[in-house]
């Protein structure tokens, strides 16, 4: 049964996204990476209890084989419970999702790094909608659909106020140095480049408001997945940070892949997904470039937000870039 499931995951991974163009590793580098990863696997396996030793090691070796076959940079995926603190009954990220995220990371790494100055702005244009529940005059809850289409200019270093344009109306948001909830380019550039350290930082923050003892039903793993998606959809993310974010997402239990999804702009692509409490959060990727197109949340069961199959939130990234002044476009 395990072998059949792994073969199915391999086939699913090949269908989801094509391989991204890459430069072949220098002679001997692949073997060095292989020996390093296998030594890490042995070390991590010995550190875990015998109850969970066999399956993670087997899955990690398969990820190695798939990545090396594609000539990809090998990433050590530490799947021990100490990395995420996730319940043991949540499955590891599927092979298909790990491969999609690794291809997206490789594509991000291949993006040319342009010089960005503190006085410049990150521009982003999005389209889409979100759903909110609001109490009407009769005291009943009413489902409203809010337009998420906007243009936004955020100061690279957070020293200037953010200009946000919605429906041709401008508003200025307070200046801020940057955070996980309101990132600036400089904040993103300063995040850890190591996927494990990056996920720990994000998940520790999620634990504060969505962990044990909180009123949240979202849970820290789902919140971490959502946070990474928001950071990647920020507009312009430094290439090294974007690659680390994709690889950090591959460490979150319960992450899976879907062959097709449609973003808010009507573009079809492959998806990396995570299901929680009857809702499926999807990151949609261009199948040719592995570039993130957008994200959406779909109901898998009837809820106050709508019937099963309803897309309650969908936001697509249309354009982004670095500009000199707020109000300019790339």
Residues counted in the chain: 330
Flag the least confident range among 13-27, 73-87, 105-119, 270-284.
73-87
Residue 54, domain member (yes or no): yes
Q: How many domains does the chain have?
A: 1
Tell me which residue range forms the domain holding 31: 2-323
For 110-119, letters b (16+ CB in 10 Å) and e give eeeeeebeee
pLDDT in tens, 36-49: 444 444 443 343 33
Q: How far is CA 36 from the centre of its chain?
A: 26
Residue 290, domain member (yes or no): yes
**Under 8 Å between Cβ of 201 and 187:** no
Flag the least confident range among 47-51, 195-199, 273-277, 293-297.
47-51
Residue 329, domain member (yes or no): no
Q: What is the mean pLDDT of the chain?
A: 79
Give residues with Cβ within 8 angstroms of 154, minimum separation 6: 121, 122, 124, 162, 184, 185, 235
Residue 51, domain member (yes or no): yes
Residue 188, domain member (yes or no): yes
* Model pTM above 0.85: no
């Amino acid at each position: 049964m395990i072998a059949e499931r792994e073969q199915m995951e391999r086939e699913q991974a090949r269908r989801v996204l094509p391989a991204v163009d890459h430069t072949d590793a220098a002679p001997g580098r692949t073997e060095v990476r292989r020996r390093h990863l296998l030594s890490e696997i042995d070390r991590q396996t010995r550190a875990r209890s015998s109850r969970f030793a066999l399956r993670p090691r087997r899955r990690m070796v398969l990820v190695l084989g798939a990545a090396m076959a594609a000539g990809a940079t090998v990433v050590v995926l530490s799947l021990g419970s100490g990395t995420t603190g996730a319940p043991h009954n949540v499955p590891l990220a599927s092979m298909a999702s790990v491969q999609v995220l690794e291809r997206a990371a490789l594509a991000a790494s291949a993006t040319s790094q342009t010089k960005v100055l503190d006085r410049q702005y990150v521009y982003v244009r999005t389209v889409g909608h979100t759903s909110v529940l609001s109490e009407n005059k009769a005291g009943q809850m009413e489902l409203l659909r809010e337009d998420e289409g906007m243009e936004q200019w955020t100061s690279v270093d957070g020293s200037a106020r953010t200009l946000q344009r919605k429906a041709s109306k401008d508003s200025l948001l307070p200046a801020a140095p940057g955070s996980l909830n309101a990132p600036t380019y400089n904040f993103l550039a300063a995040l850890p480049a190591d996927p494990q350290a990056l996920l720990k930082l994000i998940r520790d923050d999620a634990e504060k408001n969505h962990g044990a003892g909180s009123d949240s039903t979202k849970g820290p793993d789902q919140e971490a997945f959502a946070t990474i998606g928001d950071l990647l959809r920020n507009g312009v993310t430094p290439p090294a940070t974007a690659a680390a974010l994709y690889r950090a997402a591959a460490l979150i239990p319960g992450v899976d892949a879907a062959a097709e999804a449609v973003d808010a702009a009507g573009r079809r692509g492959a998806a990396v997904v995570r299901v929680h409490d009857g809702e499926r959060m999807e990151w949609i990727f261009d199948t040719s470039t592995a570039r993130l197109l957008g994200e959406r949340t779909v109901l898998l069961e009837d809820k106050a937000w709508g019937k099963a199959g309803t897309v309650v939130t969908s936001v697509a990234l249309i354009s982004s870039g670095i500009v000199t002044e707020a109000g300019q476009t790339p």
